[in-house]
Each structure stands twice: as structure tokens, then as C-alpha cells.
Amino acid sequence: MSANQPRLELRIDVFALGGQRALALPTLTPPELVAAILDEFHELEFLSDAAGNYQLLKASDRAPLDDATPTGQQLASGDQLLLVEREAPLPKGAKRMRHHAYLRDQGTSKVYKLHWQPAIIGRPDNSQEHNDWLAVNMAAHPAGRRISRRHAQITEANGQYFVERLSPNPTVVKDSQGVSTPVDQQKHPLRHGDVLYFENSQIALKFIVRERETTP
């Protein structure tokens, strides 16, 4: 039935993929349109499946769309939009990374955005210091109980990324050539495409870096 309904013809910049054509039902709310975009461009490894992590802006003035109002009441055919990430607030003492960095679970395809550094990988524990620095919460993962509360952390300095182990549980970095290197409690270089492998849980997280776009 919906195939016969009028559509909005839009152009959407999906990060580096500019000017993507979309025929959207005017009854869709912006979060519903975002969900459709994420489904369409799932081949972009850094995209998560959580529409709430993103918002749509009008390209003309970068004004955000109202999430509760149907797109047909906010847009006209021919409008251009930008898909952008929502930035999480910085915890006290943390800093932004130079580029956008992510970890993608190779088993579940879940994507974790590293909004700050130090970016702790582990599980929540209010009894430990800097619980708000937890950037990758593995508590809900099927094998998450085998991840230490403070398992590892990722930091960045001058565009170079590092991982260091915070627990005695084994952690390995596998590079794009398949070479595995154990991580100790010293900083180990981490490069785009490397995979963090946690042996006790068999969880593998691919490290992804995306450069920040230049705002016109």
C-alpha cells in the first residue's frame, strides 16, 4: 500500500558518502528515517544499528530536525540532509580523540563508539575509580562475564592509538596480516583494522578509525 504514497526525494550525506538519493515517506519521523539509512548502509563498519546514536541536520544551515515531527512537515522534495553522530558528554578528566574511533564486535556486529579517552573496556563497577570512563560496556554481551570490570583501555596521542591491559586476563592484538601480539600493562600500538582478542571470553573487537569531517 505504501508504494503508492507520495515520497519525499531527498539527498543525504551519509558521512563520506555524499548526496545519497532517498525516497522517504513523509510520515516517517527522523529517527525512523535514520533507522532506514543505517539498514541501507550497513556495509560501513563504523555504523551502529542504534538510531538514537545519530541525528539528521539540514545541510543548508545544519539545523537539526525535530525527532517527534514527521519529515513531511519539516522538509520538501529536493532538500539535502546530513547524517551525523550524537556526541556523548565528556566525563570529568577525559578528553576527545583526534579522530572518530570505534570497536566493532566481530561476533555480534555491535559497534561501540569511543567518545573519549582513556576509553575503558570492561563492565560497570561503582566501587572502582573512574567508573564513568567506561566506554565499552560488555556487561550485556553473552560472554561478558568473562571480561574483567577493568579489562583494557585505549588512549590516543598525536593521532597514534594505544591499548594497554588493565587486568591479568590475556589480551591479544591481531593485525591485518594475522600476526598476534600479546598485550601487557605497557602501551601497545593500535592501528586501524587491528583486532583486540580477549582469550577467556573469545570476544574479538575490530578497531576502526574514521577521520573527522571538516565543517564548511
Question: Given this structure, which CATH class describes domain 100-210?
Answer: mainly beta
Closest CA to 45 of 98, 119, 110: 110
Domain residue limits, the chain: 2-85, 100-210
Q: Over the stretch 57-116, which tens digit does the pLDDT of each residue have?
A: 999 999 999 999 999 999 999 999 999 999 999 999 999 999 999 999 999 999 999 999
Give the whole-number percent of the chain exceeding pLDDT 90. Answer: 89
CATH class, range 2-85:
alpha beta
Provide CB contacts within 8 A for 97, sequence distance 6+.
114, 116, 117, 119, 156, 161
Q: What is the per-residue pLDDT for 1? A: 36
Write phi, then psi, for 52 (nearest 5 degrees). Answer: -65, -15
For the question of whether the overall pTM of this predicted structure is more than 0.85, the answer is yes
Check whether 216 has a pLDDT greater than 50: no
**Residue 142 CB contacts under 8 Å (≥ 6 apart), including other chains:** none
Q: Work out the end-to-end distance of the chain between its first and last CA atoms, rounded to an integer number of angstroms.
A: 41
pLDDT one-digit tens code per residue, 109-154: 999 999 999 999 999 998 888 899 999 999 999 999 999 999 999 9
Instruction: Give residue-wise pLDDT tens across range 3-34.
Output: 577 899 999 999 999 999 999 999 999 999 99
Please name which of 145, 121, 141, 148 lies closest in space to residue 133, comparing C-alpha atoms: 121
DSSP 101-135: EEEEETTT--EEE--SBSEEEE---TTSTTGGGEE
